[in-house]
Amino acid sequence: MADSLDAATSRRTFVAAAMAIGCLQTMAYGTLYYPFAVLKQPMADSGIDSRLLLAAVSGAFLVGGLLAPFVGRTIDRWDGRKVMALGTISGGLACAVMGFTENIALLLLAVVLLGSAFASTLYDSAFSTIVRIVPRGGRTAITLITLVAGFASTIFWPLTHWLESRVGWQSTWHVYAFLNIAIAAPAYLLLPVPTRSSVSIRDRSQRGTDARPQSHQTRVFVLLAFVFSVNALVAATLSIQIIDLLQRAGLAAVTAVSAAALIGPAQVAGRLAEFLLRRNVRPPATAVFALTCLPIALILLLVTDSYAMAAGFALMYGLSNGLVTIVKGALPLSLFGSDGYGTLMGRLASPQLIAESMAPFVSAVAIVSLGDQVSISILLALACLSVVAMLMLIASQPSQSDHEG
């Protein structure tokens, strides 16, 4: 009886922690990442160069990429709750500075603060923190977090637009600063205390807890980093350019927006399917399916000339993007286990964030120089390469042992 009560209590704690982090991730993405899409035009109208804003977001991703390995190690060696609380405070300060942005110096300060927040408050840190709290059942927790946070854009794009229309863009940033500093940061400290783990991936492999040699571990890491970074570059490019690409393909503005709006529901649908099928489908299989959906989506984008084709692209891309978010947390956990997971996630996040920082400028130059069709074809080739790399990774695994449990 006591054992069953303990198990029930443990499960309630597990679900509550995952749902809480999911809600906090919704707030993080909604207040730090998505507002720029809505506020960049009002900020430009008030005299702030839109190119500087684009450079600021790219710079923040670059700073985040440089800080990510340090953040991952700190989560392993210290306490992910405190790391995310401090990162959330940094994000809140970035929002406050954005609300006062009048010159390049303030914008540079916002870049550093926002980059620190990107490294320590988004999915990679959230996954590392929940795996420390519930070392077993990490894949389920990761899926729950992404299910809840999948509604961030659905909630915060309209909210940001409404706030801007009522109180202006400066006060909107200040509202988001308050949400981060006064609500989200303290909430992280109320999460369950994580288990202690200071074992790095390198230490664990040297101790021989995995029968495979260090060279194999390194090869798996390099392939994972390549796959995730290429996917991040392609996804970031599409998120920036998709409305313009659909319009230049011949769709009216309202048609392009309505087609793109299907991406969010498709993401959530994919994550829900993964949650329901997780006991029967292993992370590598989910990874191959998710990555394969992206080339299919890009082929549809290449030939899009109607709403139906654009909707097909949006659904396939959303399905891929929703599942890849889970794969980025669940596959490393399955391959390497929970010891040193934060360190591993930080090292994997670094090239991904740097790739995302490159996307705005690389995509703009490619489209101007090469045109839409060639640029999409390049993205298609990169997406196919990521599928091949994932198949190589899976083929290199002599026997798949699930570390997650």
Q: Which two tokens stand for residue 154?
A: 């659905």
pLDDT of residue 71: 94
Distances (CA, A) of 290 to 194, 320, 403: 30, 5, 21
Rounded CA-CA distance 39/204 in Å is 46
8 A C-beta contact, residue 154 and residue 322? no
Q: Which two tokens stand for residue 236?
A: 């970031």
8 A C-beta contact, residue 225 and residue 349? no
Distances (CA, A) of 289 to 209, 295, 296, 317, 336: 30, 11, 11, 12, 21
pLDDT of residue 150: 83
Q: Is the pLDDT score of 203 beyond 60?
A: no
pLDDT of residue 6: 44
pLDDT of residue 243: 80
Rounded CA-CA distance 83/125 in Å is 8
Q: Is the pLDDT score of 65 beyond 90?
A: yes
8 A C-beta contact, residue 222 and residue 159? no
pLDDT of residue 10: 63
Q: Is the pLDDT score of 200 beyond 50?
A: no
* pLDDT digit string, tens, across residues 67-104: 999 999 999 888 899 999 999 999 999 999 998 877 77
pLDDT of residue 213: 63
**Hey, is 338 helix, strand or coil?**
coil
Q: Which amino acid is at 83?
A: V
What are the start and end residues of each CATH 1.20.1250.20 domain in the chain? Answer: 9-189, 201-395
Rounded CA-CA distance 346/118 in Å is 12
- Going by pLDDT thresholds of 50, 70 and 90, the confidence category of residue 199 is very low
Rounded CA-CA distance 360/373 in Å is 17
Q: Which two tokens stand for residue 4?
A: 């069953």
Average pLDDT over residues 158-179: 93
Q: Is the pLDDT score of 12 beyond 50?
A: yes
Mean pLDDT lowest for which of 84-98, 113-127, 299-313, 387-401?
387-401
Q: Which residues contact 222 (CB under 8 A, 6 or more apart)?
A: none
pLDDT of residue 291: 96
Regarding predicted confidence, which is higher, 115 or 51?
Answer: 115
Which position has the token pair 């702030």? 48
Rounded CA-CA distance 15/9 in Å is 10
pLDDT of residue 318: 92
- Going by pLDDT thresholds of 50, 70 and 90, the confidence category of residue 399 is low
Regarding predicted confidence, which is higher, 20 or 39?
Answer: 20
Report for 87-96, 107-116, 196-205, 337-346: range of highest mean pLDDT? 87-96
Regarding predicted confidence, which is higher, 302 or 404?
Answer: 302
Report for 34-48, 147-161, 170-184, 207-221: range of highest mean pLDDT? 170-184
Distances (CA, A) of 385 to 178, 203, 296, 300, 391: 43, 31, 13, 18, 10
Q: Which CATH number fits domain 201-395: 1.25.40.10, 3.40.470.10, 1.20.1250.20, 3.40.50.2300?
A: 1.20.1250.20
8 A C-beta contact, residue 56 and residue 156? no
Average pLDDT over residues 63-67: 94
Mean pLDDT lowest for which of 18-22, 35-39, 352-356?
35-39
Average pLDDT over residues 337-357: 91
Average pLDDT over residues 351-374: 88
pLDDT of residue 224: 95
Q: Which CATH number fits domain 9-189: 1.20.1250.20, 3.30.70.260, 3.30.70.360, 3.20.20.70?
A: 1.20.1250.20
Q: Which two tokens stand for residue 118?
A: 């990107």
Q: Which residues contact 91 (CB under 8 A, 6 or more apart)?
A: 28, 31, 32, 113, 114, 116, 117, 121, 180
Average pLDDT over residues 55-68: 91
8 A C-beta contact, residue 342 and residue 257? no
pLDDT of residue 197: 53
pLDDT of residue 216: 80
